[in-house]
Amino acid sequence: MSSGSNGARRVASLLRPAISDPRVCRSCQETLVRRSYATASTQASTETPSTAASAFPVVKPTHTIKAGVVLSRPPQITRDLTDFEKAYYFYQKRLNERLQLPFTKYFYFKRGTPADEDWKRKIRERQTPARDIGKYNPYSKEAWNDELLVGAVESDPAHQVEMLVQDAESTVNATSQDTSKKEEIPRPFPRVTEADQKNDQRSLNRALQRTLYLLVQSKDGFWTFPSSPIVAEETLRQAAERTLEQAAGVNMNTWMVGYHPVGHYVYNFRNPSKLATGPAGEKVFFMKSRIMAGQADLSGNAQNLTDFKWLSKDEISKFVKPQYYASVKNMLADR
């Protein structure tokens, strides 16, 4: 062996001492052991350079990738008040009635005028000019007792509206020149619709204070959000738009929110025959969408759907499987 090779070995031994060398501490010995893989990988890379330059293998998907649509109708009216909130707002009405007249009534109404007479009539009838707060005298010794028991009918907003409308009708009819015709003032639209009374879950004119979601029923009887497999060279948003059109028809004005999914659901097949011949299950990625107008129409749908419903979050849990609901419940609004 040449002297040059011996010199190279001496330099290597100085730069990288042996593990068994007593001059090497225990910590360094462990480090040298852990770093031994680097030398092996370097040798492997130098021996087979073609392996590193090879292309990545094409991995066949184990699940069918689907695009789902969470189509919702937002709330149309304010939420229902709790009994405590109703009693609190009613208390504020009576408190305002007690504090709103720091001056005598003749500061507002001249003696003997029709307005003054109307004021006196209202005071005699209900002890206050405000019909919506019930019988209450803000200037009596019991004026401090302006609270209301929780659940009293006077605290119901619908009752207050009805009292105000009746008061306006009585005033209009009393001052009307034509006494043969009774004037009627239009009432506000009710919060409970005809669809609510009939429990028509296909109607969008129900549960106006809640968010409703479109669910469809497959030919097997399962309820889910509309979904279908993604085809080649199709984005998730394009697949969701196509799915909604194929499932619920084109008679809806919808708006797709964003380009990214809001959640996903994974279903693994349990049938051994399916596992042997096809994918192991399904992965559904849900896109969020809103309906602006129109209605779902399943006639001629391309997915063999048999029925549809517009349901709130609480109602959805009664129709879908528990595993499915556990995956989608966080995507749904509580209201």
CA distance 326 to 312: 15
pTM of the model: 0.71
What is the greatest pairwise CA distance in the chain? 134
Structural domain boundaries of the chain? Answer: 3-52, 63-78+209-331, 83-175
CA distance 258 to 270: 34
In tens digits, what is the pLDDT along the chain, a chain of 335 residues?
555 555 555 544 544 555 556 666 666 655 555 444 444 444 444 545 444 445 666 667 788 899 999 999 999 999 988 888 888 888 888 888 888 766 777 888 889 898 888 888 888 888 888 888 888 888 788 888 877 777 788 888 888 898 889 888 887 887 776 777 788 888 888 889 999 999 999 999 999 999 999 999 999 899 999 999 998 889 999 999 999 999 998 889 999 998 999 999 998 888 756 555 677 888 999 999 999 999 999 988 888 899 999 999 999 999 999 999 999 999 999 88
152-to-155, 217, 324 alpha-carbon distances in Å: 6, 43, 42
The CATH topology of domain 63-78+209-331 is Nucleoside Triphosphate Pyrophosphohydrolase (3.90.79)
Q: Where are the beta strands (DSSP E) in 198-274?
A: 212-217, 223-224, 227-229, 252-257, 263-268
Residue 119: name the closest of 167, 179, 186 by CA: 167
In the 8-state DSSP scheme, what is residue 232? T
Residue 125: name the closest of 134, 114, 138, 115 by CA: 134
N residues, the chain: 335
> To 10 degrees, what angle do helices 26-34 and 36-47 make?
30
Q: Where are the beta strands (DSSP E) in 160-235?
A: 212-217, 223-224, 227-229
